[in-house]
Structure 1
């Protein structure tokens, strides 16, 4: 199982590294794909800005389900969190069985940032690891990064 490769995708946006990081962590409700949901009638998505924090969604009925835990917090360069996805794309509640999402931001110019999102250690998903890898390993940049790029373009005012 340990041979299941990571899946990394990147997108370059017209924003400073600080702007790109802030949009990622402060506006997930805008860029998170609407089909990636654990709760009924999702009202919010929160990324708690510290190691040990959760990233979770809240439904209209008040139910909260965490997608994972923040394991590394290094603004504006990096964010690492567990990814608690189980069989049939339903939540699991054990970080020991979760893989990791590593999000790296690199300033590639004064107002340009490349963001790379890596699904790592997929073998931790056990029997479904290969299935998850195949689902993630589609064309780049993928739905999530395309959404992120459009949200950045909407919120960042170009310098004159």
Structure 2
């Protein structure tokens, strides 16, 4: 048994949108805010679009400038406007991880709680991969919050 801490990545942000609008922006509007142009993409220079289909069985995927697509995950739970859960699997990972996003109504807006878990399924590299993702999620969620504020 590892004495490393739980590798789950957690991040929370508050936005000035009601939960239904925050949910729609996070899912169907993901292409409006995800920082593909900053390297948050598997396509690198080919990165063009990103999609999160808000329905159980929906795809989380990128479409590259040459038309190729890379499916990163699949939606396993979709309960608008409260929650979406989708798998995340990098091409070189041996197993899926899971991203659970909750949209909690608060006065004047929504608190988004993101939990990316399951890194222990990735074997000996799981904890270091969790640390990498923990370093990336704040920028991604900041981009979401900035777009939510811009309206």
TM range, normalised to the smaller chain? 0.7 to 0.9
Task: State the TM-score, normalized to the length of structure 1.
Answer: 0.82
Task: State the TM-score, normalized to the length of structure 2.
Answer: 0.87
Moved over 6 A (4+): none
* Residues paired across the two proteins, number: 146
SS at match of 1:124: helix
Q: Does 1:108 align with 2:106?
A: yes
The separation in 1 between residues aligned to 2:78 and 2:50, in whole angstroms, is 18
Shift of residue 72, structure 1, vs aligned partner:
0.5
| Structure 2: runs of 5 or more not aligned | none
The separation in 2 between residues aligned to 1:105 and 1:26, in whole angstroms, is 15
Q: CA RMSD in A?
A: 2.1
Q: Does 1:79 align with 2:84?
A: yes
Instruction: Name the residue aligned to 1:150.
Output: 146
The separation in 1 between residues aligned to 2:87 and 2:122, in whole angstroms, is 11
1:38 pairs, out of 30, 36, 42, with 42
Shift of residue 45, structure 1, vs aligned partner:
1.2
Whether contact under 8 Å (2:17, 2:109) holds in the other structure is: yes
Whether contact under 8 Å (1:29, 1:45) holds in the other structure is: yes
- Structure-2 change in CA distance of 1:138 and 1:30 (3 Å): same
SS at match of 2:55: coil
Shift of residue 21, structure 1, vs aligned partner:
0.5
- Structure-2 change in CA distance of 1:93 and 1:131 (3 Å): closer
